[in-house]
Amino acid sequence: MKITLAQLNYHIGNFKANKAKIIHTLEEARERGSDLVIFSELTVSGYPPLDLLERKEFIDACLRTVDEIAPHCRDIAAIVGSPSLNTHPEGKNLFNSAFFLHEGKVQDVIHKSLLPTYDIFDEYRHFEPNADFHTLSFKGKKIALTICEDLWDEQPIEMEFGKSRLYTLSPMQELAKEDPDLIINIAASPFAYNRIAAKREVFTGKAKSYGLPVFFVNQVGAQTELIFEGGSLVVNPGGEIVGEMKRFGEDVRDFLLEEVSGAEEIKISDPEDYIPEIHEALVLGLKDFFGKMGFTDAILGLSGGIDSAVSIVLAKEALGAEHVHALLLPSQFSSGHSVSDAEQLAQNLGTPYHIIPIKTAYDEFEKLLHPYFKDLPFDVTEENLQARIRAVLLMAFSNKFGYILLNTSNKSEAAVGYGTLYGDMSGGISVLGDIYKSDVYKLAHYINREQEVIPANILIKPPSAELAPGQKDSDSLPEYSRLDRILYHYIELQTPVEEIIEKGYDEETVLRTIRLVNNSEYKRYQAPPILRISSKAFGAGRRMPLVARYF
């Protein structure tokens, strides 16, 4: 049996484009003599459709599209993902399903059993869990068809307390009772740089445990903040990876089932440096955000600092130099080299830019406010005023020319609230909001790996918001090397505060950092969506109460 794995980039709700892509792939696979084409989870609708699943016309379009794909499966079979209706009177209205299409019609429908409700997932909000387990029969083979989480039942809970296993049910154990010949898993598993090896181990472990080949098809592409890396796999019954598909790009490959069992393991080594993966993910995230939204051009404030420098390079790679516009907005506190560094970077990239000093606007605001502020001393009010003037100018260009403003704040700043609401926190999409400052520097060095794209001075000067005379980030925050490690323990690992201190971090620094994180929740509630590259990004995957006193 020739099996085709179709790792494609779908657009949520774009049924016409998704259908065309599926049918085109089927036709090409048929010409190559393929017997079965496997597509990813919720192929037809795109993943995650979120509350579009509550709209009748959306579900009708999903089911209609499946019916329109089925006639193209007369001499070839396909597995496509789509919501399906729960016709039982009890439970949620929908299932998350895999449709088995053959001989021009729907032959069977398999429903997902394990519905994740952690991190960015909220599937139980819409779907009913499956309780009917059976294999598919095709060309004399019995197929154990699973949907994403259904093969991930043994994954641990990533917390410092509680149980070590997330689910009490194992769908694969139920399917194994029918003595299947192979396992298929269709998924929409988002990228997290610190979960690459763990994801592979799920499939190698299941293949070895059941002594069956595993065919895993993952979605690729970005959907708002979520980035799917692809990386679909074929694993032999011994738990050895014998095929791995492209990461961060569409890929379609054929495999002979009879050869998979005897195929030799291919050499896969987890990258020692995760920065190249993050780089690819962010470029894909930006490219798809603009492409799927119908936007073409971006704008950002180019300050001469490391964050805006890395952001403009990523945007240029995703959109093209002519589609990325920069405003250099110096104030009376901006150093001369910040302007010259930013200008040199824009010239290196070939991106259009303008220099608009903001001192005149700032002086006018001071005059306007003086009768009320009188002789009160300069403080954060005047600092934030500069950031908000810059946001007004950037948004004026956005409105006038249709540019989308890129937010360039990093995760360290977002965590501790080191940013100005309606100022430098503004934007349509956050490029670096899931990247700690330490890793922003690593990204910059990676960008400069072959030639100096980002001027060297940007990489070596102390980070500063330049909103006050002689200001440095270290005046307000711990050194980023220490800050980022504390934040990683508290946010990603959810380590209790006492244990962070026990690991050797200064108690006063830890307590101050955690207090800043918790007190800044109100700012993050108003932040733009953040391109997600970790297992715990701010936004939909980290839901904290705004009005709470939990530390």
Mean per-residue pLDDT, 295-299:
98
Query: What is the predicted pLDDT for the residue at 164?
Result: 57
**Model pLDDT, residue 155:** 67
At 523 the pLDDT is: 95
Residue 463: the pLDDT is 76
Q: How far is CA 390 from the centre of its chain?
A: 28
Catalytic residue among 19, 21, 73, 112: 112
CATH code of 277-473, in short, is: 3.40.50.620
Q: Say which residues have a Cβ less than 8 Å from residue 453's Cβ, sequence separation at least 6.
A: 313, 345, 348, 349, 447
pLDDT the model gives residue 113: 97
Look up 149 and say whether it is catalytic.
no
Least confident piece of the model among 121-130, 178-187, 464-473: 464-473
Can you give the pLDDT at residue 335?
72
486-506 CB burial, b ≥16 within 10 A, e <16: bbbbbbbeebebeebbeeebe
Q: Which of 21, 41, 128, 206 is catalytic?
A: 41
Mean per-residue pLDDT, 260-284: 89
Q: Which residues contact 131 (CB under 8 A, 6 or more apart)?
A: 113
Cβ–Cβ under 8 Å, residues 448 and 454 = yes
Nearest Cα neighbor of 333 from 278, 390, 414, 282 is 390
Q: pLDDT value at position 476?
A: 75
Measured between alpha carbons, how far is 130 from 172 in angstroms, rounded to an integer? Answer: 13
Residues 6+ apart with CB under 8 A from 450: none
Reading the block at residue 74, the tokens are 């007369």
CATH class of 2-263: alpha beta
Confidence of residue 75 (pLDDT cuts 50, 70, 90): very high
Mean pLDDT, range 416-443, rounded to an integer:
97
Structure tokens, 336: 């001369």
Q: What is the pTM of this model?
A: 0.94
Mean pLDDT within 391-404: 98
Total H helices, total E strands in the chain: 17, 19
Average pLDDT, stretch 358-383? 94
Q: How is the chain split into domains, by residue range?
A: 2-263, 277-473
- State the average pLDDT over residues 41-60: 97
Q: Is the pLDDT of residue 466 over 90?
A: no
Write the pLDDT tens digit of every residue in 146-185.
Answer: 999 999 887 655 544 554 577 888 999 999 999 999 999 9
Average pLDDT over residues 48-57: 97
Burial class (CB in 10 A: 0-12, 13-18, 19+), 163: exposed
41 classed as catalytic:
yes
- Residue 99: pLDDT band (50, 70, 90) is very high
pLDDT category, 513, cuts 50, 70, 90? very high
Least confident segment among 70-74, 230-234, 272-276: 272-276
Q: What is the share, in percent, of the chain residues with pLDDT greater than 90?
A: 85
Q: Of residues 332 and 293, which shows the higher confidence score?
A: 293
- Of residues 123, 148, 149, 317, which has the active-site annotation? 148
Is 112 assigned a catalytic role? yes
